[in-house]
């Protein structure tokens, strides 16, 4: 994977992270298990990106 492509994906991940945070905030306590799963999934994406970038 080219570095430029990795950087583009990082930008897309940031947008996803912001969207996920907004959704979690909007749902409040109504979707606690979904919120935890979503946070974990976004964190996993960042870990995978970091491992690939190194």
Please tell me the predicted confidence (pLDDT) of residue 6.
Answer: 82
CB atoms within 10 A of CB 38: 19
- H-run or E-run covering 32: helix 32-53
pTM over 0.85: no
> ∠ at Cα 48 (21, 43), nearest 5°?
25
| Per-residue confidence (pLDDT) for residue 1, from 0 to 100 | 60
pLDDT in tens, the chain (54 residues): 688 888 888 889 999 999 999 998 898 888 788 888 999 999 999 999 999 887
Q: What is the pLDDT of residue 22?
A: 92
Taking a C-beta distance cutoff of 8 angstroms, is the pair 12, 45 a contact?
A: no
């Amino acid at each position: 994977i080219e570095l430029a492509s990795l950087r583009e994906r990082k930008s897309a991940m940031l947008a996803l992270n912001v969207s996920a945070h907004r959704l979690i905030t909007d749902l409040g306590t109504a979707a606690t298990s979904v919120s935890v799963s979503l946070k974990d999934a976004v964190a996993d994406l960042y870990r995978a990106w970091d491992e690939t970038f190194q």
